[in-house]
Amino acid sequence: MFKKTVVATLGAALALLPLTAGTATPASAAEPHVLSLQEGIDALPLAAENREGYKRTSFRHWIDEDHGGCSTRNEVLIAESRVPAQTGPGCKILSGQWFSYYDQQTVTDPRGLDIDHMVPLAEAWVSGASQ
């Protein structure tokens, strides 16, 4: 069975190869150009920021998007805990162990943690979230 599968797979792969015997394609033509960090930054479009209409209340916080009984904050704490997080009624996080990469501290009390946005909401608004 294994040999038949390998032969069938090789046959299918060979059928997809271009029929260009004797005409080699330069490797550089087949590979996409990879941007450097600076090229990527330079390629970003620039526009004036417009915060018109921005209200923090436009963004709902700590919702239960998947309707699983835990808020987004608690789901993050459960997922990020280095040991199984202990939860109580209403998905209240009772304990766990989290490592802060910012100050190299280990935290075991979930009340000592803040879950925040990687992009400030006002910046998200002017960068397209308003749409």
**Single-letter amino acid code for the residue at 60:** R
The per-residue pLDDT for range 51-87, each reduced to its tens digit, is: 899 998 888 778 888 899 999 999 999 999 999 999 9
Averaged pLDDT in 10-residue chunks for the chain of 131 residues: 35 40 54 88 86 87 87 93 96 95 92 84 87 83
Q: What is the model's pLDDT at position 85?
A: 97
CA 16 to chain centre: 33
Q: Is 126 exposed, middle or buried (0-12, 13-18, 19+ CB in 10 A)?
A: middle
Q: What is the model's pLDDT at position 24?
A: 52
Q: What is the model's pLDDT at position 25?
A: 52
Q: What is the model's pLDDT at position 39?
A: 93
Q: Is 33 exposed, middle or buried (0-12, 13-18, 19+ CB in 10 A)?
A: exposed
2: tokens are 């294994």
Give the single-character DSSP code of 91: G
Where do runs of H (alpha helix) occur along the chain? Answer: 2-16, 27-30, 37-43, 72-80, 121-124
Instruction: Show me where the domains of the chain are located.
Output: 57-131
Q: Nearest 10 degrees: CA dihedral of 110, 112, 117, 123?
A: 160
Q: What is the model's pLDDT at position 29?
A: 62
63: tokens are 């919702």
